[in-house]
Amino acid sequence: MLFRSTTEADLDRVTAFAVDEPVSWIPADRYLAELAEGMYRPEWTWIAEDSDKVVGRALWWGQSDSEHPIALDCLHVDPSVADRAAVAAGLLAAGHAAFEEQGAPKPPLYNLTLPNGWQDDEAIASAIAWRKEAALSAGLTDEVERLRLEWTPEIGVPESKGRLRFAEASDEEFLDVFRRIAVGSLDAETRRNVATMGADAAAREEMDFYLERPGKREWWRLAYTPDGAVAGLAIPSATPYNVNVGYLGVVPELRGQGYVDDVLAEITRIHAENGADLITATTDTTNAPMAAAFARAGYRNTQIRLIFSAPAD
């Protein structure tokens, strides 16, 4: 079995590799379109060959200006392979080693998009099982399940209670609030980062992440109570595909008072006034208060995202 990245000469074989399982995968037309934009690249596309036959494929994705891949979008091994998990793990291990050699600070995460209630579907659960085994074998041992949510204009902008004032602020002010709201957060990634690197470094990493996203910095707002105290922050953001609810939070001493609804309403309002016809969002399935806030704002849960990533340390 040979694991290698592709060249332009492999393009026809890469795009001919179809997935017939009920999991998220990347069809040929999307791969070719995003290959042209640099979001998929030959060196981020890996195949497993057995006697010159392609029996496995891993497609890593990044933004057009990414130095390293961000996420594994599609992992598939031909059903004829006796041990699909082993071949998939070999693909991941080979790709991760190459990315590390090229300077990537950590392995890209593996993102699977699934329908709601996927655990009760035997075909989906079976398709996930060997992929999960491969991810764990390759060191992607942190597992998080997230709700994928959507807002569209017919839902209407959630009504603000008018208790908070929103204003632009400097990077230093935002960094301080990122640091404050990281403490006690129910978000799994934030908790993991705080535990491994401390609140200061976790806040800097979070803020840098959103500064690098396609969303505009001028959308960002700090939230203040009527007496001028900082209540939280609102980060409307974007992906290469659509605008989204990037990051929002309320400082620990003001949590539990419903301010999250005002912050989410502000993010939604900014995107809606800019003409958005779709706003997406995600939150951990274990973060019940945030999921409830999205529901109150009219956001619909459309999918589940199962994410495997390397431990933060």
3-state helix, strand, coil in the chain (%, to 5): 40, 25, 35
Cα separation, 172 vs 181, whole angstroms: 15
List helix spans (H) across 69-226: 84-101, 122-137, 171-182, 188-211
List helix spans (H) across 102-170: 122-137
- pLDDT of the residue at 209: 92
Query: Tell me, what amino acid is at 264?
Result: L
- Residue range 50-75: average pLDDT? 95
Tokens 């001919």 correspond to 16
Strand partners, 233: 222, 249
H or E stretch covering 269: helix 259-273
Quick check: 24 and 14 in contact, CB under 8 A? no
Give the pLDDT confidence of 80-109 residue by residue, as tens digits: 999 999 999 999 999 999 999 999 999 999
Give the pLDDT confidence of 224-268 residue by residue, as tens digits: 999 999 999 999 999 989 999 999 999 999 999 999 999 999 999
Q: Nearest-5° angle of CA 4, CA 239, CA 38?
A: 35
* Statement: residue 313 has pLDDT above 80: no
Query: Tell me, what amino acid is at 170?
Result: S
Pairing relationship of beta strands 53-61 and 71-77 according to DSSP bridges:
antiparallel
- pLDDT of the residue at 20: 86
Mean pLDDT over each residue of the chain, to the nearest integer:
95
- Residue range 115-132: average pLDDT? 93
- pLDDT of the residue at 17: 86
- Residue range 124-150: average pLDDT? 96
The pTM (predicted TM-score) of the whole model is 0.89
Q: Provide the token pair at 313.
A: 């340390």
Quick check: 147 and 289 in contact, CB under 8 A? no
* Statement: residue 24 has pLDDT above 90: no
Tokens 């036959």 correspond to 53
- Residue range 135-161: average pLDDT? 95
- pLDDT of the residue at 90: 97
Give the pLDDT confidence of 200-231 residue by residue, as tens digits: 999 999 999 999 999 999 999 999 999 999 99
Quick check: 60 and 45 in contact, CB under 8 A? yes
- pLDDT of the residue at 276: 97
- pLDDT of the residue at 163: 93
How big is the chain, counted in residues? 313
